[in-house]
Amino acid sequence: MIYKGSCHCGKIAFEVDGELTGAMACNCSICSRKGSLMWFVPRDKLRLLTSEEGMGTYTFNKHVIKHHFCQTCGIHPYGEAVDPQGNRMAAINIRCLEDLDLTTVPVKNFDGRAR
């Protein structure tokens, strides 16, 4: 299935192709503040529909995850990293997907603070 998503103002818009069977809530210092619910997909399943102009990127701690955000509205629609097997991955904030009933998506908690 193809999902469409964006930041609040629409300057970062994207499509992501995949089966959304669950999401992750992380309690690390940044995720707990953002309130993101992340869905991990191969990076090639994410397609930007807008320019990367106006997109900011934040890294912290080990600097391995690129947390992308809109420099206009401040929303964090997705991040990028490489998984332990070397695959490029995207972490989609499902709160930024259009027409999604969040109550239907199972959420697993991840203890990012302990890492």
Cα angle: 72, vertex 77, 83; to 5 degrees? 135
Residue type, 58: Y
Residue corresponding to tokens 């993101």? 36
Query: Average model confidence (pLDDT) for the chain?
Result: 94
- Dist. CA 47–CA 92, nearest whole Å: 11
pLDDT tier at 64 (50, 70, 90 boundaries)? confident
Number of separate domains in the chain: 1
What does pTM read for this prediction?
A: 0.92
Q: What pLDDT, on a 0 to 100 scale, did the predictor assign at position 97?
A: 98
**Residues spanned by the domain of 22:** 2-114
The model's pLDDT over 11-54, given as tens digits with 9 standing for 90+, comes to 999 999 999 999 999 998 888 899 999 999 999 999 999 999 98
CATH number at residue 62: 2.170.150.70
